[in-house]
Structure 1
Amino acid sequence: MNLPPSSDASPSHTLQRPFRLDGRVALVTGAGRGLGFEMAKALAAAGARVVINGRHAGRLDAAAAALAAATGRAVATAPFDVADADAGRAAIAAIAGEHGRLDILVNNVGARDRRPLKDFTAGEMEALIAADLIGPMLLAREAAEHMAAHRHGRLITVTSIAAHIANRHDPVYTAAKAGLGGLMRALAVDYARAGITSNAIAPGMFATETNAGLVADAAFSAFVDTRVPVGRWGHPPEIGAAAVFLASDEASFVNGHVLIVDGGQSIRM
């Protein structure tokens, strides 16, 4: 792109009410539960008009009702599979059409399949990479087109500390998450002059529904206590503030960054 410097407003005008998202429209994928749900809740509490995504309409409806009860704000739903390019394009267009704009995209959906590389077929690799890397890439491209029209946007992608520190028998997921970090650095360069910032959040070990079995495992939780410097699992609501910060005007000069939220796990020897 060959555009003039961004017109993104200086954060000075918001200092009396920092980190507010009033008037902004946000789409959060994979928000029916877990970290996606918590980020959607935090964005709504900060004043954004939030649309949540997932593949299961019934789960999304229940999540939207819970979010509305928690924040006092109506939350809309957009059920579609992020790996379906046509469905994602249609959903982004529908959200922008209904609300007049799309300001924030939180690409949170992720799938995991822990197996040695030798146990994957080519098709299984492609399916996991489609969900974890290609889907977010396509949604970011579609969202950026609408954001550029208003000279303002926040592309936020959830990666993982697996992109920075690897575990055994987790190669495809690790590669896809590392790819997301590279993607956000590339988009940070490509879209900045259009008023769009591109950043990532890399969560560590959080006590979500998906990890319930591990949280209940005394031996594994003891490992968490010794491996994570703060000595515990992350609480799901602790991810919300990271999303609000990166979506806010106060983060207007943060671009191409990966914000690691892991209690210090990734920097411990």
Structure 2
Amino acid sequence: MVLNGRSPAALGEAARELADRTCAADAGAADRVHTAAFDVTDAAAVAAGIASVEERVGPLDVLVNNAGMQLRAPLLEFTDSDWHRILDTNLTSAFLVGREAARRMTGRGHGKIIDICSLQSEVVRPGIAPYVAAKGALKMLTKGMCADWGPYGVQVNGLGPGDVDTELTRPLVDDEEFSSWVRRRTPAGRWGTTDDLVGGVLFLASPAADFVSGQVLYVDGGMTSVL
């Protein structure tokens, strides 16, 4: 397993935490957690980073495109620079890293790419239009990757989290009025957790999904299914 981020220090901390959580069940897990610090919005850094990963760790069989950020503001007040930050982080990064990984996967005749889409790949609320634009485009990029790379044995799918309690959503979780609305609006009656997403990722990364491609699996407590 290889963790990516821009900060070597933060990556090291995340790797240690992951190793500590898994070592209880697998004593050798710590030796299989690696890091690769590079900016996924920089094409040259991506190319060098993926090459380094394959040289140090081995062939990349599964890629999870999980870079994301959010900026909330009325659309009339949204700046050009913030628009480009949202698109570069949430959309362009998946294209750059996905393309570089697929160059190797297609040559080997197998691979799995999982793009972390969103409930907002389908629906929208005021104040997040640029994020929604990026996540909606990521859904279609996932389908485009499937069309281009499927004939070479690469399955590309998306995972669409609903309202999940994370660092990114913490201001909304702490807003009791908004949290109450989420709980009422979601058939499951609660916010999601990151643990809720694990099963979907494992399925899409596994041989069980060898004939699944171009799909987005929404893990949203049922929110996209109801009015």
TM range (shorter): over 0.9
In structure 2, C-alpha distance between the alignment counterparts of 1:77 and 1:138, rounded to whole Å: 18
- Does residue 90 of structure 2 align to residue 139 of structure 1? no
Instruction: Identify the residue that residue 19 of structure 2 maps to in structure 1.
Output: 68
Judging changes above 3 Å, is the alpha-carbon distance between structure 1 residues 261 and 221 closer, same or farther for their aligned structure 2 residues? Answer: same
SS of residue paired to 2:160: strand
Aligned residue in 2 for 1:100: 58
Q: Which has the higher contact order (CA 8 A, sep 6+)?
A: 1
Q: Secondary structure at the match of 2:157?
A: strand
Contact 1:96 1:146 in 2 (8 A): no
**Counterpart residue number, 1:59:** 10
Distance 2:78 2:178 in 1: 26
Amino acid at match of 2:93: G
CA distance in 2, matches of 1:267, 1:174: 18
Query: Which residue pairs with 1:261 in the alignment?
Result: 219
For residue 113 of structure 1, report the CA deviation from its aligned partner: 1.2
What SS does the aligned partner of 1:254 have? coil
Once the two structures are TM-superposed, the CA of residue 257 in structure 1 deviates from its matched residue by 0.1
Q: Counterparts in 2 of 1:181-260, with a 5 A limit?
A: 181-260=139-218
| d(CA) in 1 for partners of 2:218, 2:144 | 18
- 2:87 is aligned with 1:129: yes
Provide the C-alpha distance between the structure 2 equivalents of 1:181 and 1:210, rounded to a whole number of angstroms: 20
Shift, 1:211, TM fit: 2.6
Structure 1, unpaired ranges of 5+: 1-49
Q: What is the rounded CA distance, in whole Å, between the counterparts of 2:216 and 2:166 in structure 1? A: 21
Q: In the TM superposition, what is the alpha-carbon distance from 1:124 to its structure 2 partner?
A: 2.6
Task: Read off the aligned partner of 1:252 and give its amino acid letter.
Answer: D
**Counterpart position of 2:77:** 119
Relative distance call for 1:218 and 1:118 in structure 2 (3 A) is: closer
Quote the Cα distance in structure 1 between the aligned partners of 2:17 and 2:162: 25
Distance 2:74 2:170 in 1: 24
| One-letter amino acid matched to 1:211 | T
Q: TM-score, normalised by structure 2?
A: 0.92
1:148 aligns with 2:106: yes
